[in-house]
Amino acid sequence: MKVPLLDLKPQYFSLKKELDEAVLSVAESQYFILGPEVEKMEKEFCNYLGCKHAIGVSSGTDALLLALMAIEIKPGDEVIVPTYSFFATAGVVSRLNATPVLTDIDPVTFNINPDDVKKKITSKTKAIIPVHLYGQSAEMEPLMKIAKEKNIFIIICNNLRFFL
C-alpha cells in the first residue's frame, strides 16, 4: 500500500475556485517573479500583521533562510530547533554552516520543549526556531523569557509567517 507523504488535494478542492482564478491571473499577466500579485500579497500581509514590511519568497524554506541571514547567522553559531519538524528547519541552519541544536518536544503537543531549550543554550546560541504544529502554538511565554534573558533571537514560524 502506498501512503502519500502529504495529501493536499482536500485542501486544494476546498479553495479550488479562488486558487484557479489566482493562478490563471498570474499566467495571463506573465509576472512569475515579483510583479503586482506579489506586491498586493505583501501589502495584505502588512495590513493583516500590523507591520511595516513583508517580503514574499518562493517557499517556507527560503523564508527561514532569509530570517537567519537577516540576523547574520554565520559559521560557528548555534540555532535551537525542534527534533520534530520539516527537515528545512534544521537544513537552513546547516546551509549557513551554523549548527542546528536539536531539542526534545512536548509529547502531547509535539512542539518544542522550553525546559530542554534552556538546557541546550550555550554562548554560541544565536536563535531559537519554535515551529508551531497542527494548529497548536509552541509555549511562547517561557521561550520569550529565555530569549530575553539570554539575548537571543526567536524566529517564529508556522505555515504562513516568519518573524524576528
Q: Is the pLDDT of residue 55 over 80?
A: yes
Is residue 98 included in any domain, yes or no? yes
Q: For the chain, how many structural domains are there in total?
A: 2
Kindly state whether residues 85 and 120 are assigned to the same domain: yes
Q: 156 and 86, same structural domain?
A: yes
Examine the domain organization and report whether 71 and 132 are in the same domain: yes
pTM (two decimals)? 0.77
Residue 41 has pLDDT above 90, yes or no: no
In the structure, what pLDDT confidence band is assigned to residue 147 with cuts at 50, 70 and 90?
very high
- So what's the pLDDT on residue 161? 44
Q: What is the pLDDT of residue 134?
A: 77
User: What pLDDT is stored for residue 146 in this prediction?
Assistant: 96
Contacts of 111 (CB under 8 A, 6+ apart): 82, 105, 130, 131, 132, 133, 136, 137, 138, 139
Residues contacting residue 35 through CB under 8 Å, at least 6 positions apart:
26, 29
Model confidence band, residue 64 (pLDDT cutoffs 50, 70, 90): very high
Same domain, 45 and 72: no
Identify the CATH number of the domain in which residue 108 sits.
3.40.640.10
Task: Average the pLDDT over each of 112-121, 132-141, 152-161 and give the range with the smallest value.
Answer: 152-161
Question: What is the domain extent for residue 35?
Answer: 9-49
How far is it, in rounded angstroms, from Cα 122 to Cα 58? 33
1 assigned to some structural domain: no
